[in-house]
Amino acid sequence: MVTVLVNGACGRMGRAVLKAVQEAEDLQLVGAVDITGGADCGELAGLKANGVKVETDLQAALDRMKPEVMIDFTRPDVVFHNVTTALKAKVSPVVGTTGLSDEQKAEIKKLAEENDTPAFIAPNFAIGAVLMMVMAKQAAKYMPEVEIIELHHDNKLDAPSGTAVQTAAMIAEVRAEHKQGHPDEKEKLTGARGADYEGMHIHSVRLPGYVAHQEVIFGGLGQTLTIRHDSLNRESFMPGVVLAAQKVRGLKGLTVGLDKLLEF
């Protein structure tokens, strides 16, 4: 049994994670934390009558419950603090929250090593999204001209999405140096061509109705190739979250990406 505390328990992802952890045979939910806390939140989060209450103080909950794993789905501006708090308490973070910078990831790696406590971060826990990224990396070797369109619900705080940035980073590993578009191209409205990641354009759409979606569009001579993934609900992420919580204690240092836990 791996003991688990869920941070961000009252959020959209947190509630789905609470349910998934309670249903997973080899995981044991021992704690739940959310800044909003309160009895209503616990009810909303669908906690079974197993003695777990939603608390508001992460440090106190970690000290008392001593879980092996903390699953974090909170906010981009607080996740780094949560992860460092967990690592200093020798609790392995499994992180879905997006927005960590490269410098913060380097600091997390160092802390994980110093505390001999493995850490895991995945910008996307949906298997289909992982396959989209892996396949996009393959395609980019042959079709280096590529743009990314990500589409999310309008409550999302960060843009571009963590998935889009990770996709671009994976493509950049294999893509030949490439200048895309016309050299005389000019934006008539700022932002029209989207964000620029090493010459790849990323476009972020935010609308009610969406959950999490992404298209990676490759262009070549007389042809295009589109790789698209759609998360239609938050359950799509749960098998990946459960797998990471089961495996993280067997890893070393910092591991980034669910692809590292799968065989290709």
Identity of the residue, 143 or 151, whose beta carbon is nearer to ligand NDP in the bound complex: 151
User: At which residue do the structure tokens 């010459």 appear?
Assistant: 199
Kindly provide the b/e burial profile for residues 5-16, where b requires at least 16 CB atoms within 10 angstroms of the residue's own CB: bbbbbbbebbbb
Q: Which one-letter DSSP state was computed for residue 176? A: P
Contact between 163 and ligand LZUJQKHR per CB under 6 A: yes
Interface residue with ligand NDP among 74, 92, 166, 214 (CB under 6 A) is 74
User: At which residue do the structure tokens 């571009």 appear?
Assistant: 160
| Contact partner, 73, from ligand LZUJQKHR, ligand NDP, none, Cβ < 5-8 Å per class | ligand NDP
Is residue 260 annotated as part of the catalytic site, yes or no?
A: no
- CB 256, min distance to ligand NDP, A: 11
- CB 115, min distance to ligand LZUJQKHR, A: 27
Identity of the residue, 67 or 96, whose beta carbon is nearer to ligand NDP in the bound complex: 96
User: At which residue do the structure tokens 């067997």 appear?
Assistant: 250
Contact between 122 and ligand NDP per CB under 6 A: yes
Q: What angle do CA 168, 174, 178 make, to 5 degrees?
A: 75
Residues 242 and 127: beta-carbon distance below 8 Å: no
Residues 255 and 119: beta-carbon distance below 8 Å: yes
| Contact partner, 14, from ligand LZUJQKHR, ligand NDP, none, Cβ < 5-8 Å per class | ligand NDP
Contact between 135 and ligand NDP per CB under 6 A: no
Helices and strands, counts by H and E, the chain = 8, 12
The residues in 186-225 that bind ligand NDP, with binding defined as CB under 6 A, are: none
Residues 6+ apart with CB under 8 A from 11: 34, 73, 74
Interface residue with ligand LZUJQKHR among 137, 152, 201, 203 (CB under 6 A) is 152
Residues 6+ apart with CB under 8 A from 227: 132, 135, 136, 139, 215, 216, 218
- CB 65, min distance to ligand LZUJQKHR, A: 27
Is residue 105 annotated as part of the catalytic site, yes or no?
A: no
Per-residue string for binding with ligand LZUJQKHR, 75-114, x by CB under 6 A? -----------------------x----------------
Residues 218 and 145: beta-carbon distance below 8 Å: yes
- Binding site as annotated, residues: 8-13, 48, 96-98, 122-125, 153, 162-163
- Residues forming the site for ligand NDP (CB under 6 A): 7-8, 10-14, 33-36, 73-76, 78, 96-99, 122-125, 237
Q: Which residues are catalytic?
A: 152, 156
